[in-house]
Amino acid sequence: MAVDQSPPPVYTVSERYGPRVHRSVRHGAILLLVGALQFIGAMVLTQIGYGSSYSLTGNYISDLGAVNCGVFGGAGSFAGHYACSPWHDVFNVSIVVMGLFVILAAILIRTAFPARRSRMVGLWLLALAGVGSIGVGLSPEDYYLPGHVVSALLAFVGGGLALFVLGFAMFRDTRWEGFRAYTVLSGLIVLVALLLFVSNADLGLGVGGMERLIVAPVLLWSIVAGTHLARIPTFAPRAFSKGSTE
C-alpha cells in the first residue's frame, strides 16, 4: 500500500488587531472603576445625610466618616474641629471597600504595563494608597486621630506618587497611548496640592476644596484608566485556518 507523501497542511494564526491584555487586567480594571464610582456615590449619599451644614470647601472629606457629633481634634488645622455625620457608616464602609478594590486591582493590572522597575514601584504605591484608604475607614477622625492622619497621608502620597511613576511605566506601550502625559500630570497635581494642603495654603478653596483637589485626580484616573483597560480586547485562544501559510 502506497504511503501518502504529501506535505502536512499548513495552519496560520489569525491576525490580532491592536494590543490585547490578559483577562485578569480586565478584572482589575473593573475593580478600579467600581471602587471609585461606589466611593463617589457614597460621599454624595453621606453628604445628603449630613445635611446643609456640610460645606464642600469648609469641611474635610473625613468629616463624613465622623462617628460622633461634637468638637474634637488635635493640633494644627484639626484643633477645635466640629463634625456630625449621621450616615458615617456608609462613608467608612465605602472607603474600606475602595481600598480593598485598589489593592486587588494593583495586582491584577500588572501585565498591562511593560515589565520594568517603574511598573513594580508604581503598583506598590497604588496598593499603598489602598491600604491608606482602608485605614481611613477603620480609624475615623474622631475615633483615633493619629491613625487617621497617617492613613490619609498614605492614601494621598501613595496615590500621587503611583500615578506619577505609572505614567513613566507606560512609555513605549501602545496600550497606553494618550494616557502617559495625563497620568503623570494627574500625579503632579496630587503632589502639589498635598504640599499646599499641609502648608495650610488653600488657594481660596478652603480645606475641603484643597483636600478634594488631592483626591479628585486619583478617582478620575481610576475611572478613566479602568474604563480604558476594560475595553481593550483580552487574549483569546489562537484560531487556525487551514490551507494558508504562516
pLDDT at 232: 80
- Has residue 181 got a pLDDT over 70? yes
The number of residues in the chain equals 246
Query: pTM of the full predicted structure?
Result: 0.83
pLDDT at 116: 86
- Which cell numbers hold the place of 71? 468638637
pLDDT at 83: 82
pLDDT winner (highest mean) among 138-147, 153-162, 172-181, 230-239: 153-162
pLDDT at 12: 41
pLDDT digit string (tens) for 74-94?
555 555 667 888 999 999 999
The rounded distance, in Å, linking the Cα atoms of 62 and 49 is 14
pLDDT at 100: 98
pLDDT digit string (tens) for 120-132?
999 999 999 999 9
